[in-house]
């Protein structure tokens, strides 16, 4: 079922949606070396392939933020690779080896 709202939506409590996942991971980077960690999750939307829709399930979008006292001086790069419906690989590049909390937000576009 789809509901279209053609106005502002104000929510005073928590918002939940089956296609949105979020969390955090603590990374222990190597100095001046891209360091990765695999984050596993499961977007609950099954593929509609074989059910009249020839399109495979779209890959989730993933947005990252790093918690750091010295952004862009010690953390040089933060990114993802190998995004899938079952998880993502997060990479960080730091100029020191400080443990870093990385927050992620992942959302699954509908397969129309």
The region that residue 57 occupies, defined by phi over 0 for left and psi between -120 and 50 for alpha, beta otherwise, is beta
- Does residue 57 register a pLDDT over 80? no
pLDDT score, position 62:
93
> 100 pLDDT band (50/70/90 cuts)?
very high
Position 44 pLDDT exceeds 90: no
Task: Count CB neighbours of 89 within 10 A.
Answer: 15
pLDDT band at 3 (very low <50, low <70, confident <90, very high): confident
Strongest mean pLDDT among 34-38, 56-60, 71-75: 34-38
| Confidence category of residue 10, pLDDT binned at 50, 70, 90 | confident
pTM score: 0.76
């Amino acid at each position: 079922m789809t509901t279209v709202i053609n106005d502002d939506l104000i929510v005073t409590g928590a918002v939940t949606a089956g296609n949105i996942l979020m969390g955090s991971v603590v990374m222990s980077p190597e100095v001046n070396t891209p360091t990765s960690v695999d984050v596993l999750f499961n977007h609950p939307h099954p593929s509609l392939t074989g059910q009249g829709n020839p399109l495979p399930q779209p890959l989730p979008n993933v947005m990252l933020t790093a918690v750091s006292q010295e952004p862009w001086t010690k953390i040089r790069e933060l990114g993802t690779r190998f995004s899938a419906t079952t998880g993502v690989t997060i990479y960080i590049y730091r100029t020191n080896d400080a443990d870093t909390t990385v927050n992620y937000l992942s959302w699954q576009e509908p397969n129309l």
